[in-house]
A and B are shown apart, each in its own frame.
Chain A
Amino acid sequence: MSFRKPSFLNRWRRLQNHAEKKTIIDAKDPWSTLSLKEWLGYRDLLYFLIWRDIKIIYKQTVLGFSWAIIRPFFAMLVFSFIFGKLAQLDSEGVPYPVFSYTALLPWTYFSTVITKSTNSLIGTAEIFTKVYYPRIFAPLTPVVSALVDFSIAFFILALMMLIYNIVPSSTILALPLVLFLLLITAAGLGIWLSALAIQYRDIKHAVPFLTQLLLYLAPVAWSYSLIPKPYDRLYALYPMVGVIEGFRACLIKQGALPWQYIVPGYFMAICILISGIYYFHRREIFFADIV
């Protein structure tokens, strides 16, 4: 069978089978239907949704999964020419192509997730107006499925590091911490945007524009050292700063993690995620009525 499920989930099975299922729907209490147990009950669906997303992502394309590499790679070429060669931006001693690609890698993931999450609910309106399942799965699906592209693009980075002979320091062990920050930032924003987009379709038009703005706001083409001193604390509240600088510290630079960016980044990302889940759940009961 081509469908394998991670075995660690088997543990939950017994719990699931013996749980007495009682559902309460109360008009006055919007939290009555929020239950982690229910999400667990539907975990196979989340798995299939993610798997479907990966399967169809590059269906009927010529280049297939090469697209995962093309997007960050060509952006890197342009950035290297404009910002590295012409503008001569400081890349802190690292060859500029590697410097920018290391940032474009998480950035491409981030922009893919928020674009797809924003449209995820609108795109599945046909399903969720007819069948019930935890709606939050819709914006969460791209968070996982976009990791496939991310992993493929990661190989190119490894290759570039090999070519430029860059050996990561022991800080690379902190990479999961940075990666997790990237995931919750993308998930939190994706949840917010998907819930907003279904009510206000402006969001759908605003997101491509928003990702562009956020790109120039993030230290992708340049280094955070360009930010003048008193403002860098405020700047650190933008979680992608922590993510990008974290990636660079882990992979291509020597020295410790930039905690001054990662800690505020985590704080902000968790705030966005929790408020996003809260907002999403407050609104999800109306999705079928307003779509």
Chain B
Amino acid sequence: MSDIKISVENLGKYYNLGQKQTKHETLSGRFVNLIRQPFENFKKLKNQAAIPDEQNQREKGIWALRDINFTVKNGEILGIIGRNGVGKSTLLKILAKITRPTTGHIEIWGRISSLLEVGTGFHRDLTGRENIYLNGAILGMRKREIEKKFDEIVDFAEIEKFIDTPVKRYSSGMKVRLAFAVAAHLEPEILLVDEVLAVGDAAFQSKCLEKMDVVSKSGRTILFVSHNMGAISQLCSRCLVIRNGKLVAEGKPDEMINWYLSSLNPKKVDGKLNISPERLGDGRLSFTDAYIEDQYKNTTSKPISGEKISIVVKFQAKSSIQKVTFLKTIYNHLGIPVVHFSVESQGYKFHIKQGTGTVRCTIPRLPLPLGRYRIDLAAFDESGRLDSITGALYFDVSISHFFSTFFTPPAKYSTALVEHAWDLIQ
């Protein structure tokens, strides 16, 4: 047997979106419809899962995945990145045999388990003990395995006292802990993890990552879908980029992440802001440009951590406006706001004259660890919102001079950098 664990050839998945309904507005039309509808309904239901007819594509549908080819070697941790809805989760669902591909051929060597969702199959009326067995079996564990790990699972979930209580009496936190404890004790040869589906519970996400760390060190094969670029670059040995159902790039995680992130917002280079529907505000003032200047007043999209930068925003005002405050918030790759700047926080407000203008916010030492960031802009006066724009600007921090030692702070353990000093007393 070779060391290939998964081979995927020419994989495609087609979804029918259904036909448009014809409407009958007249009474006789409705009556005819009463007889005709069952036939149409039948046709629609029957064709729900139909494979598209190559010659006659009357049905409206979408290729969620198309022409995907890749292999996964034993012990490899393969990251899969791409925007929402490009087919990443569909790919994992096909590999987990939950849904069937429309085209292609897949071979998998070894037992495959998925952490796509936790707590599947929990029954409210059954006790914790009973649910551990049931859920374990649903996830593909043998009864003997569950018995062997039972105490560990209970320990991990911290529910010893409630083990014989029906799950419906559990708090939601206990349920999540129990569900994750079961999933975490799976020992598959191949593990599928979809972190995207596990959103909502930060504790679960981080536990998920810890678990992956452990599993990966034991030499097992993992397929990992995530929006967390930090986790991808840290854990994965190789990375696939999927765009619109197609595999567009494959390679080293860091290269792939950079390529993927830079492909996300190619138009933002010149700093011009376009009028997007996401913009809110009454229009008396509108932002026209946003960019970052480094300490030499050069425009950059890769500011250096620890150096002086300015966030420059140009605007157009239709009339003069009194007491205006500008807001800027920097978000990291997880969408967590890291720092917030406001004019008001400095104890003053601006009076703006009609016409164009520029506001500059200078940060003497950029306190951000390595990663990709986004800036949201807003301006308010006392009567309300003048303009706001989400994702006005994206930038990457790839070099850090924050600490004079040139020590690069690990992105895993920090969202912001703080100057500090150590003393040793003996």
Contacts and interface: CB of A to CB of B under 8 A. Distances in A.
Contacts of B45: 199-200, 290
Chain A binding surface, main DSSP class = mixed
Interface in A98-144: 124, 126-133
Interface string B51-70: 00000000000000000000
B107 A23 contact: yes
Interface stretch (B139-147, B279-287, B320-328, B355-363): B139-147
A286 B100 contact: yes
13 contacts: A3-B147, A23-B106, A23-B107, A25-B105, A42-B137, A44-B142, A44-B143, A49-B137, A55-B130, A130-B120, A131-B121, A286-B100, A289-B99
B247 to A, nearest CB: 17
B109 A22 contact: yes
A23 B97 contact: yes
Given A42-B140, A131-B139, A285-B100, 9 more contacts: A22-B107, A23-B107, A25-B101, A26-B105, A52-B134, A56-B125, A60-B125, A128-B98, A131-B138
A21 B111 CA distance: 7
Nearest to B6: A23
B103 interface: yes
Nearest first, the 8 A-B pairs at minimum CB distance are A286-B49, A285-B100, A45-B137, A25-B106, A132-B97, A23-B108, A44-B143, A130-B117
Contact of B48 (A1, A23, A28, A286): A286
Nearest to B42: A200
A36 interface: no
Contacts of B49: 199, 283, 286, 289-290
Given A5-B143, A289-B15, A131 B109 contact: no
A133 B99 contact: no
A199 B98 contact: no
A89 to B, nearest CB: 39
A83 interface: no
A133 B98 CA distance: 8
Contact of A131 (B95, B104, B117): B117
Given A44-B137, A290-B49, A25 B130 contact: no
Nearest to A9: B143
Contact of B108 (A22, A126, A200, A288): A22
B116 interface: yes
Interface string B1-14: 10000000000100
A129 B147 CA distance: 27
Interface string A130-162: 111100000000000000000000000000000
Given A23-B97, A48-B134, A286-B49, A130 B116 contact: yes
A29 to B, nearest CB: 9
B94 A25 contact: yes
A21 B107 CA distance: 11
A260 interface: no
A88 interface: no
A22 B111 CA distance: 8
A26 B143 CA distance: 30
Contacts of A283: 49
Contacts of B310: none
A5 B144 CA distance: 10
A30 B105 CA distance: 11
A45 B136 CA distance: 9
A3 B42 CA distance: 45
A285 B100 CA distance: 5
B240 to A, nearest CB: 18
Interface in A25-72: 25-28, 30, 33, 42, 44-45, 47-49, 52, 55-56, 59-60
B184 interface: no
A129 B133 CA distance: 20
B157 interface: no
B130 A132 contact: no
A140 to B, nearest CB: 15
A206 interface: no
Contacts of B137: 42, 44-45, 47-49
A48 B133 contact: yes
A20 B189 CA distance: 12
Contacts of A200: 42, 45
Contacts of B108: 22-25
Interface in B67-114: 93-112, 114
Between A133, A199, A200, the greatest number of chain B beta carbons within 10 A of the residue's beta carbon is seen for A133
B252 interface: no
Contacts of B143: 3, 5, 44, 47-48
A288 B105 contact: no
A5 B120 CA distance: 23
Contacts of B107: 22-25
A26 B270 CA distance: 48
B123 interface: yes
Between B12, B112, B141, B143, the greatest number of chain A beta carbons within 10 A of the residue's beta carbon is seen for B143
Given A5-B143, A24-B107, A127 B126 contact: no
Contact of B140 (A22, A127, A133, A199): A133
Contacts of A126: 120
A61 to B, nearest CB: 11
Contacts of A42: 137, 140
Contact of A132 (B98, B141, B142): B98
Contacts of B141: 44
Interface string B225-249: 0000000000000000000000000
Interface string A1-16: 1010100000000000
A5 B145 CA distance: 14
B142 A288 contact: no
A127 B120 contact: yes
Given A25-B105, A27-B105, A127 B138 contact: yes
A26 B136 CA distance: 28
B132 to A, nearest CB: 10
A59 B168 CA distance: 13
